[in-house]
Chain A
Amino acid sequence: MNRTVVGIDLGTTHSLVAYRHEDGRVEVLPDREGRLLLPSVVALSRDGVRVGWNARERVNDPETTVIYAAKRLMGRSFEETEAERRHLTYPIVDRNGSPAVPDPFRNRFLTPPEIGALVLRELRSRAEEALSREVTEAVITVPAYFNDAQRQATKDAGSLAGLNVLRIINEPTAAALAYGLGSGKDGLFAVFDLGGGTFDFSLLDIRKGIFEVRATNGDTHLGGEDFDRAIVTEWLGESPKLLSLGERSEVRDLLRKEAERAKIALSSRTEVEVAIPAAGFRTTLTRARMNELVEPFVERALSCVRSALADSGTPPSGVDGVILVGGSTRFLRFKEAVATFFGKPLFDTVDPDLVVAEGAAVQADILSGRRKDLLLLDVTPLSLGIETIGGVTSTLIPRNTTVPAQAKELFTTYVDGQTNVDIHVLQGEREMARDNRSLARFTLSGIPPLPAGTPRIEVTFQIDANGILEVTAREQTTGQMSNVVIHPSYGLGKDDVRTLLKEAFSHAQEDFATRLLVDARTEAQTVINATIRALERVGSDILPDADREAISRQVETLKKAMEGTDGRTVRDETRLLDNLTQPLAERLMNQSISNALSGMALPKEGGSHA
């Protein structure tokens, strides 16, 4: 039974839901009237709660609280939203430090996740109707700059709407997925996302299926709504009567709607007539005048772009392509400005209003487990570890571990004075490193030359929600560090995982024996080395000749056992050697303690302890 996972773009002004069908076709799911967008608007009135288009119609109704742009409040404290609140015309109060919108008709307060949930529930039922089946799982997109709290709030909104949110993904990543980037097409892409109320610019580095946001910049108050506002301001300046009426919020809302209508009309016409009979207002807006009004915003957007490029040390020519996202990139003046700035191909064939939702649907499809060619799971399909002495695999993250996950382990050197360690990152269930998949190799150098076993090298495996693994090795005394980032599932299909598991299982018995032998030999060698070092150092005063001879004999016996292939024999002979050297070790310890103590005086009172 296949799971139905939808992709959702929960936007500031509009939201959408999309689904990738079995045949690979991605469809943005329409409502009964065939509309693809759903205004992210909730209207609270005496006779009920409305969401979407119906809510938006209420914008001039003084009896109704119309909530819009609630995404700006998502996951933030009341204090943090201070600047935002000034732009919003509906009441927002402080509820235990969080912003909330009072619903006086139902005696309650709605939190941003609850408002988001109302929008998501609408999208969910739209999807269920369009697909004629139950929908309980989704991927939801958020801006790349969203912090953990904002992502969690978005997830909460999903849960409240009865959706299991399989993953929160970045909007620029979704846009790139919609264009099929990431499967074969590597490169550095700029994502220029100009929505209704926000401008987000991201530099997306795509390598071997890994999507890495290299830089983000933007303006949380730049978008289509600003253009509308600029137009409204222009009109208010034209008519003193309108100006005085414009102080009333319902008049402002009406003007905003008219401005938006005029703006859209101007993308296909060069001028538009506007009339608001109730205010006795009539005017003409030309495309040229609108471009003038918008020019400061173009400049603001480009300055964000410049900062992002500067931050990441990328010249505009270093970008391989620019993906246009958001309805406001339809604005011809913007398209032209972006094309001139980068001089690179624009990705604008997918409707910029739909592209993020479509990409979310692509990701949703991958997570549904339907695609055989890609492996993007919520658990690690195979164990991850490193190669350690003797060529064995030391597992840090076992298979079937839920991601994200982190594991840390301490390793040390094997040879005296060793200053480098090679970290060989492995994937698989086999005991010997050579039988597993080699993911990466890197070297940690600059380890202080110390006796074997003394340095402490901390190896950290960190795997994020997208399955990307970062391996870091750090020498603890010097802080010397080295790391590598890998995508372990890259090029690994379901059948490969199955084959690898099967192989590991069929070799389990011999792997077990080999591992036992190798580990036993390693331990034996360590004990032999320490024994020989000790024998060289001590005289007959500490070690009677008879004991020395017994120890030497056991070293030879152990060496012989090590040449064999029975791990248990090696282990047993090692124990015997250990037992024989035990009294010697104690005597050595006593001697070094008395050496350390003799010749040391207790510090006199007032003496320096430095």
Chain B
Amino acid sequence: MIQLTEAAASEVARLKKNQNKESHFLRLGIEGGGCSGLSYLIKLEETPQEFDEVIDGPKDIRIVIDPKSKVYLDGSTLDYVGGGLMGGGFKFENPNASHSCGCGSSFSA
């Protein structure tokens, strides 16, 4: 199960509206790379892929995730932290991550 905080959901909804992608899906996932081995993937996509799971989130957000990413992200919460020097951003709270790098965009299981 993956959860979105109120702040994350609002930000996703705002981005969807601003980018005129209101019918898009929110892809969450992992990919190889980053300084701790794996990095998170967050983007808006037009259509889900063949093996994806679609999860209905808050604020009409439909989350898509591939089965492999789901294993790594299970139990995670996507948060959004506004402001700050890096202009704010999404952050995963992932109980499966053993090390995370300072920026929170890279981790290893």
A-B contact pairs, 29 of them (CB 8 A): A383-B31, A383-B32, A385-B32, A395-B31, A395-B33, A398-B31, A398-B32, A398-B33, A407-B33, A429-B68, A498-B50, A501-B50, A501-B51, A502-B51, A504-B68, A505-B67, A505-B68, A508-B67, A508-B68, A508-B70, A508-B71, A509-B71, A511-B68, A511-B71, A512-B109, A515-B109, A516-B109, A519-B108, A519-B109
Complex CA–CA separation, A429 to B109 (angstroms): 16
Interface bits A501-523 vs B (CB < 8 Å: 1, else 0): 11011101101100110010000
In the complex, the 10 A-B pairs of residues with the closest C-beta atoms, listed nearest first = A395-B32, A505-B67, A398-B31, A508-B68, A508-B71, A512-B71, A398-B32, A505-B51, A508-B67, A509-B71
Closest chain-B Cβ to A482's Cβ sits at a distance in Å of: 22
Residues of chain B within 8 A of A505, CB atoms compared: 51, 66-68
Residues of A within 8 A of B72 (CB): 512
Decide: A396 and B71 in contact? CB cutoff 8 A.
no
B86 → chain A, closest Cβ, in Å? 23
Closest to A510 in B: B71
A414 to B106, CA, bound (A): 24
Q: Tell me the smallest distance from the CB of B105 to a CB of chain A, in Å.
A: 14
A571 proximity list for chain B (CB < 8 A): 98
- Interface residues of chain A, those whose CB is within 8 Å of chain B, are 383, 385, 394-396, 398-399, 407, 429, 498, 501-502, 504-506, 508-509, 511-512, 515-516, 519, 571
Secondary structure dominating the interface of A: helix
Query: Residues of B at under 8 Å CB distance from A?
Result: 31-33, 37, 50-51, 66-68, 70-72, 98, 108-109
**Minimum Cβ distance to chain A for residue B37 (Å):** 8
Chain A residue numbers with a CB within 8 Å of B66 are 505
Are A396's CB and B108's CB within 8 A?
A: no
Separation in Å of the A577 CB from the closest CB of chain B?
A: 15
User: Which interface residue of A394, A396, A505 has the most chain B CB atoms within 10 A?
Assistant: A505
In the complex formed, the residue of B with least CB distance to A395 is B32
CA distance A30 to B56 in the complex (A): 52
Residues of A within 8 A of B70 (CB): 508
Residues of B within 8 A of A394 (CB): 32, 37
Residues of B within 8 A of A396 (CB): 32-33
By beta carbon, the residue of chain B nearest A567 is B109
A571 to B33, CA, bound (A): 21
Further contacts, 5 of them, CB under 8 A, given A383-B31, A519-B108, A571-B98: A396-B32, A505-B67, A508-B67, A511-B68, A512-B71
List residues of chain A with CB within 8 A of the CB of B31.
383, 395, 398-399
User: Which one of B31, B50, B68, B108 has the highest number of Cβ atoms from chain A below 10 Å of its Cβ?
Assistant: B68
**Within the assembled complex, what's the spacing in Å between the Cα atoms of A509 and B37?**
18
Residues of B within 8 A of A506 (CB): 67
Residues of A within 8 A of B71 (CB): 508-509, 511-512
Cα A188 to Cα B90 with chains together (Å)? 53
**In the complex, residue of chain A having the shortest beta-carbon distance to the beta carbon of B35:** A409
Bound-state CA distance A407–B39 (Å) is 14
- The complex places the Cα of A29 from the Cα of B70 at a distance, in Å, of 49
- How far is A284 from B36 in the complex, measured between Cα atoms in Å? 80
Chain A min CB distance to B47 (Å) = 13
A541–B53 Cα gap in the complex (Å)?
Answer: 60
Residues of B within 8 A of A395 (CB): 31-33
| B85 CB, nearest partner CB in chain A, Å | 27
Residues of A within 8 A of B68 (CB): 429, 504-505, 508, 511
Contacts of B98 in A (CB 8 A): 571
Distance between B35 CB and nearest chain A CB, rounded to angstroms: 10
